[in-house]
Amino acid sequence: MALWGMVIDLDRCTGCQACVMACKAENNVPAVGAKEAARGRTISWMHVLTEESEERTRFLPRPCLQCDDPPCIKVCPVYATYRNPEGIVAQIYARCIGCRFCMAACPYNAKYFNWLQYQREAPGQNPDVSLRPKGVVEKCTFCHHRLQKARERALAEGRGLAPGEYVTACAETCPTRAIAFGDLSDHGSDVARLARSPRAFKLGEELGTKPKVIYLSETEGHRRV
């Protein structure tokens, strides 16, 4: 069984936000409009944070970290968010009651809420991704619809899923190839190899969430020699 994960190389990230735009286009993430954005309601499944300190400024692209022990699913009262066997933390829009407990519980603030009806059917949307109604929570799904399509194609052609066949929109788009995506359980895959790098670190590792988005940074890692 695959374990989908991501490695983001902070030493390569230029903060261009191509990943953000690709994610928005791919997943029909709504543009909430200038007024709502000013009120702090921007929905950004992939969000590039700016970490500033005395020594440096660093860009931190933050998708949902798809934790293996997610605090968000512990608190959901209606099974609207759950971790599937391949490690992806799913969000069921049809079940969500909008209590926003998962938003309060996520230490990475990776969950977003549809405060108003932001989305309507319009041309140019990705038909593989459902539109979200108002009042439900949404978040990065590792472009799960792409996995489904790739699996169906592979099944139709009578073969297994090839490495690199399923890749998220952000990883596909990044111009500096800072984002690597793949099967962490496949020892030889790029993602697994990078995750073993001495520069690797996990955000909020001490919280015990076991995130599957691993960051690489010269100034942070040095975990293994």
Contacting positions for other proteins (CB under 8 A): 36, 39-42, 49-52, 60, 62, 71, 74-80, 82, 95-101, 103-105, 107-109, 112-117, 133-137, 203-204, 207-208
CA-nearest of 143, 132, 126 to 90 is 143
For residues 16 and 92, which CB has a smaller minimum distance to other proteins in the complex? 92
Looking at beta carbons only, is 21 or 60 nearer to other proteins? Answer: 60
Least distance CB 3 / other proteins (angstroms): 19
Residue for token digits 């500096």?
176
Strand arrangement, sheet containing 4-9: 179-183, 4-9, 213-216, 200-201
Task: Scan for tokens 């079940």, then name that residue.
Answer: 95
Of 90 and 103, CB closest to other proteins = 103
With a CB cutoff of 8 Å and minimum separation 6, the contacts of 11 are: 199, 216, 217, 218
* Amino acid making up residue 187: H
CB of 21 to other proteins, least distance (A): 18
Q: At closest approach, how far in Å is the CB of 182 from other proteins? A: 25
Tell me the closest approach of the beta carbon of residue 130 to other proteins, in angstroms: 15
Residue 18 near residue 179 (C-beta atoms within 8 A): no
Nearer to other proteins, 114 or 168 (CB): 114
